């Protein structure tokens, strides 16, 4: 990675590292260098993100019950949101990947981008401490806080489960149809069925991801009103 590329990322996130080796490590996927990968920084960044988001939620919504705070929290720290944030400053352009991940466009994969976003937060914390990490998170999560909506906090799978239980006192059925792809990049196919409603089948990078997509499709296809 050239210095110009590192400085481009620093310019995009409006943060200059004191120690650029920490930034480089945060961008190093295990497929590129398993001994010096970003996994430890990702672990740290995940915790820092959780603390900053928790603190802000308690300050912004002091009267919310714990259950609602937890739903808001889940919405803000999940992989989908971290992936979305990573795209806002083209993080994929800077990730160091091994040949296999490079050929399979690893820099566009949701999990890799989301994990690297967390490792970048861990790197900022390691380089300059909590306050700078907090500034970074506030800057890039600001729009996500603005988009928080009480009616949109329940994920599709949870909503569908609540709906079927309330109306029929039964649960929808998720069936794993197939697993394909390489071990490091699997694809799961899941079918969702319930009573006489139209079935849906969706694919995802995990069973949970596929089930979530199937629930969303099921709600839309069967015109179930939220």
Residue 27 and residue 121 in one domain: yes
The first and second tokens of residue 65, run together, are 């019950």
Residue 189, C-beta contacts closer than 8 angstroms, at least 6 positions apart = 176, 177, 178, 179, 180, 201, 202, 203, 210
Active site amino acids: 46, 118
Q: Are residues 87 and 184 in the same domain?
A: no
- Which residues, 6 or more positions from 225, have their beta carbon under 8 angstroms from its beta carbon? none
Whether 13 is in a domain gets the answer: no
Examine the fold and report which residue of 97, 130, 150 is the final residue of a domain before the chain moves on.
Answer: 150
Question: The pTM is what?
Answer: 0.69
For residue range 44-103, list pLDDT tens digits in order.
Answer: 999 999 999 999 999 998 887 787 788 889 889 999 999 999 999 999 999 999 999 999
Report pLDDT for 130.
97
Total domain count for the chain?
Answer: 2
Distance CA 127, CA 59 (A): 26
Residues 99 and 120 in one domain: yes
Q: What is the structure's pLDDT at 68?
A: 78
> Same structural domain for residues 117 and 142?
yes
């Amino acid at each position: 990675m050239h210095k110009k590329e590192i400085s481009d990322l620093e310019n995009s996130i409006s943060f200059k590292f004191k120690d650029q080796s920490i930034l480089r490590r945060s961008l190093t996927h295990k497929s590129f260098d398993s001994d010096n990968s970003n996994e430890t920084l990702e672990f740290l960044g995940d915790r820092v993100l959780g603390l900053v988001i928790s603190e802000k939620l308690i300050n912004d919504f002091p009267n919310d019950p714990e259950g609602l705070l937890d739903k808001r929290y889940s919405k803000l720290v999940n992989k989908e949101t971290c992936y979305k944030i990573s795209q806002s400053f083209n993080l994929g352009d800077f990730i160091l990947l091994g040949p296999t991940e490079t050929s399979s466009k690893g820099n566009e994969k949701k999990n890799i981008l989301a994990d690297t976003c967390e490792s970048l937060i861990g790197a900022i914390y390691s380089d300059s401490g909590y306050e700078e990490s907090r500034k970074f998170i506030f800057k890039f999560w600001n729009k996500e806080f603005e988009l928080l909506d009480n009616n949109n906090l329940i994920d599709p799978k949870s909503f569908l489960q609540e709906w079927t239980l309330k109306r029929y006192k039964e649960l929808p059925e998720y069936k794993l149809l197939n697993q394909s792809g390489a071990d490091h990049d699997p694809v799961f196919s899941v079918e969702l069925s319930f009573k006489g409603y139209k079935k849906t089948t969706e694919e995802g990078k995990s069973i949970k991801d596929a089930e979530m997509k199937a629930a969303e499709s099921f709600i839309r296809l069967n015109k179930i009103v939220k």
